[in-house]
């Protein structure tokens, strides 16, 4: 059910995204790079977070 709702919502995102792109053209051009950086930051920050928790415990 959840997957079906995501698939159903996807066309709406495709309609919304072109309307947003003129406002943030550079952001969308660099989105793959930003996504890679974000995933690296997220993974490293989660590792740090868990390491800090281990130290505190």
Helix (H, G, I), strand (E, B) or coil at 1: coil
What is the reported pTM?
0.28
> How many domains would you assign to the chain?
1
Q: Which pLDDT does position 54 carry in this prediction?
A: 62
Range of the domain at 9: 2-56
Cα separation, 15 vs 3, in Å, equals 19
Q: How confident is the model at residue 25 (pLDDT cuts 50, 70, 90)?
A: low
Of 10, 30, 8, the residue nearest 21 (C-alpha): 30
CB 27 within 8 A of CB 34: yes
If one compares 38 and 23, the residue with the highest pLDDT of the two is 38
């Amino acid at each position: 059910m959840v997957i079906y709702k995501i698939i159903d919502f996807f066309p709406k995102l495709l309609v919304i995204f072109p309307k947003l792109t003129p406002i943030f053209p550079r952001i969308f051009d660099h989105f793959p790079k930003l996504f890679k950086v974000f995933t690296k930051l997220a993974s490293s920050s989660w590792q740090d977070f868990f390491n800090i928790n281990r130290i505190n415990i």
